[in-house]
Structure 1
Amino acid sequence: MSMQRKYIIALFNLSLCFTSYSLAQEEIKYERFSSFYDKMPNAKKGGVLHFQLSNDPKVMNPLLSDDSESNAVEGYLWMSLFSMDPENLSYLPGLATSYTISKDKKNYTFKLNELAKWQDETPVTSDDIKFTFDTLMNPKTHAAALRSYYEGISIKIIDKYSFAFIVQEPKFDTLNFLASFTPIQKKQFENSKDFNNDKGIMNPVGNSAYVMDKYLRSQKIVFKRNKNWWATNLSQYKSRYNPDEIILDIIPDPNLAYEKFLKGDIDQVSFNADQWNNKVIGIDKEKFGKSPSQRNLWALKLQNKSPKPYSFIAWNLKNPLFNDIKTRTALSHLVDYKKIIELVYFNLYTQSTSPFGSFTNNSAPDLRNKDKIITLDRSKALALLKEAGWQNDGSGVLFKIINGKKTPFEFTLDTNSNNTARMKIAQIVKESFKTAGIKVNIRSTEWNSFLDNINKRKFDALILAWTGSLFPNAKQIWDSNSEKDEGSNFIGYSNSKVDELIKKANTEFDNVKRNKLMQEMNRIIYAEQPYTFIAEVNYILEGLNSKISSSRWVAPYESGAASDMFYLEK
């Protein structure tokens, strides 16, 4: 998974949670709705399951995790105040049992479950919540993206198990990210002099279904069942987190992971487009069934309502090569989207036109019209480059006078190693740009080093992907202030009109009105091309070993296999 992040945190139930929160004029008290989990039959406990982890996690801490691997680890170890039912999107109790929202939506009072405990058997209390919040809001903490959601919020302890978030300006998603708040243990970090580099960052003390037993860097992470997990008998957890042991085998190479899956060394894997097209339904077709009853291995392809990731080329707008709109638009017109979708994604993806889900109500539908969607158009690109001041001196590489200096149009295009799709995209881009007199140098870097370069802004351009959200908050990525402190606006995008629209959209509680604001934002961003939007995922592609049983393989709003429900029948 790309730089997928929990700041685009949980999802709302449009009919049950979101609308009632948006339109309510009176005090709101939490009401638990029926959940699919309540109806699940009891699952057998025990056994060991192996999953792939593409890279070593950067951290093991819910405040600092900003990559998919760290988030994957986090999911086994920590609980949030509330979780979401991935079928109807209603809130389910986690560490908290209830919340109350004041009439003016400025006071959110939560009550912790008094049974909630850390893995060392000490209770989870309001002190842990406040300590976590204070640590998050400390500007020295490397959590700028997550912190952006909590600006203008303070916390008040009421008693040992009750606390309140005080909100200066309520937003449409305030309840969402407050309910998703994930605390760390005060006891573990209260004497830390350097939280970001504390040894506890890689030695987690959690409060969820598993504890970390072993971490062998570049090899594996072993989780063992938390035998004293306080929530094991809650109805939403009774048939989940069933294996006694879960092993995350760290395998950066997707082809090696695929081979290990065929051999039975890994029990579940997410296929990329190339593997699906050329192997699963290609040369290895006879090895796969369409259900667990047909073969030892089976493959799943489906579409659901989950927000889909989108890939893009990000231009560093602080680099004078890319600070001109005409130049960026020209570059986008030099990308062969059709070739990428056909040869890299095998028509399992669709061209993207929005950071908010191209086919959702948050995105402008007119951008997909033939006269507005950006396509490969070399003539238009060359004309725009000329208008932007790029000249041809016969050397084969365009140049421009920048700050009084003759500057060739040459740059480095970064991506993470072992991502074959992005490497193929980079090669297609390089070849196409060369025909226009632009020299592209491709560089692939190990994942964590790649992320470090992004955070330190040490790149010219890069290929990456973000996940989507049903109810996106554009502040994290597109607000001018989100560039600060290694925030997610790593390209340095700044547009006062977009900043204004973000503020309006985030304080608009009417869905239809907010959608219109998001669409206007989409049009501005697409016109300025700070990203070259490439493609969106259409399908969930999963491989599973038939030894795994489950009451449900994928829920309507899950982005992959429901591994929390897996169990071993034998």
Structure 2
Amino acid sequence: MSAWARRLAVAAGLLAGACGNPLPVVETGGDYDPLADPLVDPPSLHELYPVTERQRADTGTTLVRHDFSQPATLNPLFPSGAASAWTMFGMLFEWLVIRHGNPSDYDWNSNVVLAVQPSEDLRSVTLELNPELRWHDGEPWTARDVVFSLEALRDERVPVSYWPTTRDLVVGATALGEHRVRFDFAGLLAPQLRLEALAFPIMPLHIVGDAAERAADPTLRSSPYYNRYGREALIGSGPFRFVEWRNNDRVVLERWEDHYLFDRAPPAAKTMIFKFQPDRNLAFLQFLGGEYDQIYVDANIFARQAKGKLFEERGVKGRHASALLLGLLWNMDGSNPFFADPLVRRALAHAYDAETVLRRVGHGLYRRSYGYMVEERRWDYEPAILEQALDYDLERAAELLDQAGWLADPDTGWRYKEIDGERVRFSFELSYTAGLTYVPRTLDILREDFRRLGVEMVTRAYESASLNERRLAHEFQALGTIVGTTQDPNALRNQLATDAYDGGRNSGGYSNPRVDELFELGKREQDGERRGAIYREIHREVYKDQPVLFLFHVSFLWVFNNDIRGVELGPMGTILLWPTPPEGWPSRVGPGWWRERPAAE
């Protein structure tokens, strides 16, 4: 029996024994240290494409990539929570602005934008566009497509729930010719925001903007015509074209050989398959059996399962600290008797045993969060926040709850408060998204410490779409959720500004006039140092207010086939990060992931 056949047989046996159940934790006799693991981030995984030795790369290869769920659509006007959708948007469409490893560092896509002419007052910018660009059906890519796309994003009839920076900061676009367009901004903006505001998807006017279809369905998403475009007949303009979508199984993309750069700078892989498997344990076993080239894993699999002879024959691991964090979002809008009081929120922060959670849940791969800002970004992170840290201290937590009027019953230990003549017990429901394996384990630890304080937390899991509807309708008491941003910190305005309660993502009703004022100042400040000071003050103010119990920054964790090269990782993982071009590559976008050609070929 060959090594490959043995691997399939062993994986099949594991699959039969473990399907549907969590993989066991294999204790290793000490804390896991990823820096001491030779399988983590080996140099080969990140090796850039060999421009001078192209024969090393298998140019006919197919790469199979994992996601937990399929997207709702491939129309980038309506991005879903599926990570693969964002990756595919970057492959299927050409963008004016792109970003590489650091997702806050946007830059012009010189494949598309040939010249940039800002106005003297910096309140508008004119772009010269590449006349060689075409849509996948052969139609020309023009300034009219750009203008239409912005209009669609800003059209109140189109239920766009993303792209807030573009909607808020770009007030209009004008086609000055076939390949010349001017954008007008909402006043003077910070330099980084003038770029980030133009990072929006460009759609084909001749298809999505079809006059008769748009009149029949002004939402651009509900009719059979638009559903078919987003799932069966997608036309883009990028280096990959859409091939097929098998429902709840996979989406297949293929290198587009009529792209204007194909002869000079083609993508390294011929075919990209995005295959969907919601059970990460099953996905890991399928990886061992050869069905995937890349999968997402949790800390348990990364630290305890991805090891040993079977794994080492096939895989390596990659990780990157994320700018996103897991937190408990409190509903502070007065709809419950608990969380409008900052004393209560600070008390519960003191009941968070970060050391235990990070050890038991994160296996040393996650790190404690001290607010929305992340240390890696540095310029907007307030290091002095550590001096204000609300550390684990149940005695202090009890004192704060006493001050807030929530007093422990001497017989039962549960806390009560007299509200409008009624004795109310401190018992609340926390909702969270089903399928995030680290959330229930974290909540189990928190529940016990809350109980010691006399506070009852009842947890309930919801499907992602259902929970998102409840969040937007403010129908929750507390929410276990991923918060934060990987963009410029101005994007946090949509989660924290008072006027973002209706129509934004400030689902908990947080309100601080000083924070509102600071966001307005930061949006327009031209000096980088002064702008950093503004966001550092926001960091301090928000951490003091505790609208979220900040738990930990998750890490993006993957396993890869050990013959994959050219992988770039960032605070957004691998999504919406355009490959960095290696030296000598004749394109603003690199060839991306590539596979080492077998030695025998």
Could you say which TM-score interval applies, normalised by the shorter chain? 0.7 to 0.9
What residue is the counterpart of 2:295 in the other structure?
A: 269
What residue is the counterpart of 1:567 in the other structure?
A: 595
State the AA in 1 paired with 2:399: A
- Does structure 1 conserve the Cα–Cα contact (< 8 Å) formed by 2:163 and 2:200? no
Distance between the aligned counterparts of 1:529 and 1:424, measured in 2?
Answer: 22
What residue is the counterpart of 2:402 in the other structure?
A: 386
Deviations 1:174-211 (A, max 9, x none): 33224422112222233332324244253332211223
Distance between the aligned counterparts of 1:85 and 1:502, measured in 2?
Answer: 26
1:216/1:406 CA distance change after superposition, 3 Å: farther
Question: What aligned pairs does 1:53-64 form with structure 2 within 5 A after superposition?
Answer: 53-64=67-78
Match of 2:381 among 341, 363, 381: 363
Distance between the aligned counterparts of 1:421 and 1:62, measured in 2?
Answer: 29
What residue is the counterpart of 1:260 in the other structure?
A: 286
| Alignment of 1:554 onto 2:572 | no
1:300/1:477 CA distance change after superposition, 3 Å: same
- Does structure 2 conserve the Cα–Cα contact (< 8 Å) formed by 1:413 and 1:426? no
- Does structure 2 conserve the Cα–Cα contact (< 8 Å) formed by 1:352 and 1:358? no
Q: Please give the TM-score of this superposition, normalised by the length of structure 2.
A: 0.79
Match of 2:79 among 51, 65, 69: 65
Match of 2:315 among 276, 289, 297: 297
Q: Secondary structure at the match of 2:109?
A: strand
State the AA in 1 paired with 2:274: L
Distance between the aligned counterparts of 1:556 and 1:151, measured in 2?
Answer: 26
- Does structure 1 conserve the Cα–Cα contact (< 8 Å) formed by 2:193 and 2:523? no
Distance between the aligned counterparts of 1:38 and 1:51, measured in 2?
Answer: 22
Distance between the aligned counterparts of 1:147 and 1:276, measured in 2?
Answer: 35
- Does structure 1 conserve the Cα–Cα contact (< 8 Å) formed by 2:241 and 2:256? yes
Distance between the aligned counterparts of 1:108 and 1:423, measured in 2?
Answer: 48
State the AA in 1 paired with 2:592: D
Structure with greater contact order relative to length (CA < 8 Å, sep ≥ 6): 2
* Percent of aligned positions that are identical: 21
Deviates more, 1:336-345 or 1:358-367: 358-367
| Alignment of 1:287 onto 2:287 | no
1:459/1:60 CA distance change after superposition, 3 Å: farther
Q: Please give the TM-score of this superposition, normalised by the length of structure 1.
A: 0.83
Match of 2:112 among 87, 95, 119: 95
What residue is the counterpart of 2:349 in the other structure?
A: 332
Question: What aligned pairs does 1:412-427 form with structure 2 within 5 A after superposition?
Answer: 412-427=429-444
- Does structure 2 conserve the Cα–Cα contact (< 8 Å) formed by 1:354 and 1:363? no
**TM-superposed deviation, 1:544:** 1.6
1:357/1:189 CA distance change after superposition, 3 Å: same
Q: Secondary structure at the match of 2:429?
A: strand
What residue is the counterpart of 1:222 in the other structure?
A: 252
What residue is the counterpart of 1:9 in the other structure?
A: none
Distance between the aligned counterparts of 1:271 and 1:547, measured in 2?
Answer: 19
**TM-superposed deviation, 1:249:** 1.4
What residue is the counterpart of 2:584 in the other structure?
A: none
**TM-superposed deviation, 1:85:** 4.2
What residue is the counterpart of 1:76 in the other structure?
A: 91
Distance between the aligned counterparts of 1:447 and 1:557, measured in 2?
Answer: 22
- Mark the structure with the bigger radius of gyration: 2
State the AA in 2 paired with 1:477: Q
What residue is the counterpart of 2:330 in the other structure?
A: 315
Distance between the aligned counterparts of 1:441 and 1:540, measured in 2?
Answer: 28
Q: Aligned residue pairs: how many?
A: 514
State the AA in 1 paired with 2:331: N
What residue is the counterpart of 1:86 in the other structure?
A: 101
What residue is the counterpart of 1:535 in the other structure?
A: 552
1:225/1:515 CA distance change after superposition, 3 Å: same
Distance between the aligned counterparts of 2:266 and 2:68, measured in 1?
Answer: 27
1:167/1:266 CA distance change after superposition, 3 Å: same
Distance between the aligned counterparts of 1:557 and 1:450, measured in 2?
Answer: 25
Unaligned stretches of 5+ in structure 1? 1-35, 290-294
1:74/1:467 CA distance change after superposition, 3 Å: farther
| Alignment of 1:488 onto 2:505 | yes
TM-align CA RMSD: 2.7
1:460/1:83 CA distance change after superposition, 3 Å: same
Match of 1:448 among 447, 450, 465: 465
What residue is the counterpart of 2:425 in the other structure?
A: 408
What residue is the counterpart of 1:478 in the other structure?
A: 496
Deviates more, 1:184-193 or 1:340-349: 184-193
Q: Secondary structure at the match of 1:451?
A: helix
Question: What aligned pairs does 1:504-543 form with structure 2 within 5 A after superposition?
Answer: 504-537=521-554, 541-543=557-559
